[in-house]
Chains A and B, each alone.
Chain A
Amino acid sequence: MEQTFAIQMKDITKRFGKVVANDHVSLDIKRGEILSLLGENGSGKTTLMNMLAGIYFPDEGQILVNGVPVTIASPKDAFDCGIGMVHQHFKLVDVFTAAENIILGLDSRQKLDLKAVAAKIEDICGRYGFVIDPYKKVYNMSVSEKQTVEIVKVLYRGADILILDEPTAVLTPQETDRLFAVMRNMKADGKAMVIITHKLHEVMDVSDRVAVLRKGQYIGDVATADTDPQKLTDMMVGHAVTLNIERPLVETRNLRLEVEDLTVLTPDGIKALDSVSFQAFGGEILGIAGISGSGQKELLEAIAGLQPTQPGSHVIYHPPAPDEPIAGQHVPVDRGGEELLGKTPRQIHDIGVSMAFVPEDRLGMGLVGTMGMADNMMLKTYRSGKGPLLDRKPPRQLAEKVKQELDVLTPSINTPVRRLSGGNVQKVLVGREIAQEPSVLMTAYAVRGLDINTSYTIYNLLTAEKLKGVAVIYAGEDLDVLLELCDRILVLCGGQVSGILDARTATKEEVGLLMTKFKKEGAQA
């Protein structure tokens, strides 16, 4: 029998605690083809592939490589099976050269002959059309060069099944084209390739076949030639789900925040935000949609004073009128509009602009892991009160209140929050920010990893804030929620505003297409 399947995954299930990341997924990967693994954030794409790469071990199911059942318990096992994965976060030693990184951990008995290594690298590069300087130090490399090193590292180890996890997320359109050209060369060489992505135009551009995951489940696969972005979007997002989130309309909406030409650079000098302009109003929830890493984090952080901005950027804050219920408890500012950029995070906070950002590691910013709920409640307010000593009474009361109202599961308000589960950590964070009685409330991924009931609690809290006249900015991942919770949706794509839609009339497809708008144009340019 002719063997065409490089990999067969059968009935794979992987759970993290109560969350089912992959639910009986079966997937085949063929030689000489590029397979796109498509799905929204959190649909389980990376988890599935990590089981091939030896990072995770499946709870159930079987993996066959070239028709033979195998056990992949470590990255080394994966290499032995000829599987190589290029992760989103590069695993390279900064002070080493490309060649040194590539041979790391290989045949320690052999002589270290970097010339021979370089020759072999050149050979691989020549075969597939890479360009790489084996003697260049990683810390001197651009992101795209680092990615190339990762791919060559995998090839050098003899991998003939390559998995690329969102390889284009960090690349310019030109670099993306070059990568795709290399991938086509590798395909012609008979290698099997998987590209994990959620960008439709890339799927159409490079792959032969598309497999779609949604919320941990395998939806199906189609030949790329037989499909189009519209059909793929339907598969990826599914039919619009009615969530029945209450969405009252506030009649008087006053201008609260004016963002003009906001530009932010990453440490590498790439534009994370490119001339972003929009307005946010009191009494509305402004949703921010976009694939992950489109500049959401930078946008919110820049407004909160945590990101250095480029000259020409403006964030103008208009305080609530004196007769509004939320007025009066913050540091007074120019009624004609106060520039926020150039102020410290503390000043901005004192004015009434609050941010509840739930980072991916949850505790990295916003909460102190070693402290209990009570002490975390006063992270931004501990200075209040006279004298050098802390007044622990208000934060303790607030902690009890948040614990009760949001149903936080913790043995006591003094239990270090890093011991709490993710969802509970988030409740603490969001609860605290709302308690600040802000006039602008920004949240990012506030319901990430939360169960349905808790998510609704948070939606209701945000809506209540809106009714008070607060300008709520909500960056989220789930389009269904954005469409039902928000009044307007701003779509970010590659650091630019690709559109602002009325959430009451917009469709899921409209938002989805705006999310990938610019990359497509860039790639064609």
Chain B
Amino acid sequence: MGVEGIGARVVRKEDKRFITGKGRYVDDIKLQGMTHAHFIRSPHAHAKVKKIDSSAALKMPGVVAVLTGQEIVDDKVGNLICGWAITSKDGSPMKMGAWPAMAPETVRFVGQAVAVVIADSKNLARDAAEAVVVDYEELPAVADIHAAIKAGAPQLHPEAPGNQVYDWVIGDEGATDAAFAKAANVVKLDVTNNRLAPNAMEPRAAIADYDAAEEHFTLYTTSQNPHVARLVLSAFYNIAPEHKLRVIAPDVGGGFGSKIFIYPEEMVALWASKKVGRPVKWTGDRTEAFLTDAHGRDHVTHAEMAFDANNKITGLKVKTYANFGAYMSLFSSSVPTYLYATLLSGQYNIPAIHAEVVGVYTNTTPVDAYRGAGRPEASYLIERLMETAARQLKVDPAQLRRTNFITQFPHQTPVIMAYDTGDFNASLDAAMKAIDYAGFAARKAKAKADGKLRGIGVSCYIEACGIAPSKAVGSLGAGVGLWESAEVRVNPVGTIEILTGSHSHGQGHETTFCQLVADRLGVPISQVSIVHGDTDKVQFGMGTYGSRSAAVGLTAILKAMEKMESKAKKIAAHALEASEGDIVIENGEFKVAGTDKAIAFPMVALAAYTAHNLPDGMEPGLKESAFYDPSNFTFPAGAYICELEVDPGTGKTSFVNFVAADDFGRLINPMIVEGQVHGGLAQGIGQALLEHAIYDANGQPVTASFMDYSMPRADDLPSFNLSHTTTLCPGNPLGIKGCGEAGAIGASAAVINAITDAIGKNNLEMPATPDRVWRTIHAA
């Protein structure tokens, strides 16, 4: 592998700028003549906008303009779209309520923008915003799923009667009913998957700069996928044709899904920069992040699992209500359907599954993909069900899982997914060994003697990643293809630039992608640079989400590398007067196999550009590109086990040990993979113990700052004990499955299974706050 090749723990190339304060995030950028935007946001969850009086604000110092929702509609900026069409069981398309970038008539969640002040400074814009008088007529609001679907509930959109977006089904209902009719045991469970705020540490920001002479826009934005942003802004929002719009996502301070979407603030900044003839900057604050970044999760589910007399699962029935908030965000519709229900088979042989998912509008912030997106909800449900079943059937939870594991691959589940490979026993073995599962009973007894309640919880997750084959997702309603592109540019001196459509906002691509090049060419990674995040530099790309950058993005780079190497070998063979088939690449040299004849890679590159002595008919230069479309999803899987103690006096949970055994296929940089798992685990544990985005009955957010929303801190979390078992993914040449979301998908069930084990009660909702745990312990 070499010291910098595939599999090496290479320290990150990008770190130097971050540890020295030289990172360049959107808010760090200043343009000549730049103005600042401050949005005027609705304090009401549901209201008519009767009148906006900006006359006083316009007279204030430094104020350039006050622009309203009616103006952006009049200028024909398009409404926000949802890019994945879902069809209800009755054949009707999903019901979309119109979502203008600023509300001209009706606001439907607290924080929705109705107008924007553009001023010479951020402070002046905010000063003036307070002088803009908005006359609202309050309407009844509804925030909760159950309340929203009741007859007589306040209605959000005329297009969606009953606040229903869709009623979608998957699986074979008849076969599932038949399985339940014959079941020896049926296990039932109601679970809520709590709403989360993504809270990337860098708040969203945008700078838009319109060049009137060229009729050209530049947008600096906090995006995980600048090319998708440009596509959507051009094709659907009428900002500018693609060749007149450059989107740059520089250093981005975390995303976790929340920076996939194209938000109203970016649209308004672009539109406003043309209107005022100056660059417009907007930087959100944390409260705006809570109010406007797409939230995650928020499901209410009833599920039943059927078992035969041998404890084999025979069927699964699921009914889920998914809260979408007030509008359908960009990929929201796919999250509780194709990213959730298709994973309901978990790691288990389940012959029959039927799931129904009802999407619901409420007067809350829109909900969309957040780390894991649908798969944490599926995994949590299945793993809570397995634990509940083990308790009800009085068998060891680990053994019940083994009884039902899929062991033959490929395996076609009843819910679309075809698992390509895996070894679920191996990861469970590794986790059980790491935590000394066999010794738990003795540890529990000892803890009891010390007045502590100790519990252990298992979670065996599977996810579908690398999303995804374009043809497959197209057939399921996706509005885009989900391939990735790459370009390899070899400079005349032999240094290499890799252009990728993946975007790095913490994942370390500037290092891992170089490791592939180092591995293939034997050149040091210092000779390679990764170019990403700028639509003027990289031709196109689909961006980073769904744990796809290595499995799909890196494979695209591999494909381009192969093309480049093929040409370079021809050049080398020509120079060395050898046959192309005899050329091997070793330690930065092109060698004639079995001889000492060699030419260094930089000399090959130089030959390509001088073109003095190329094979007949060969074009000069050394630059190749590739588009890679995966043939299947990838299926990372693993086993997490959590051991913890509950203080019966306070209900507070303390970790004793947390082990994670993951199968991600091939690892490019184990150090970076471990970091991804750590972060994912923290978010999964955060969901289980701390985090909950809460609204009151009138749609007022209760948790709109870090004073109320509990973010995991260092002292809330343990150190983690990680290991890997490996089955190589057969779907891509590198054998990679992806690692970005696993921790967030598998962790929460392990924690809740452990707490419910500790306290001896099965029903406990997330987040398991001390209060909630204490009340559950003492409930009759």
Q: A and B from one assembly? A: no
Q: Which residues of B contact A (CB under 8 A)?
A: none
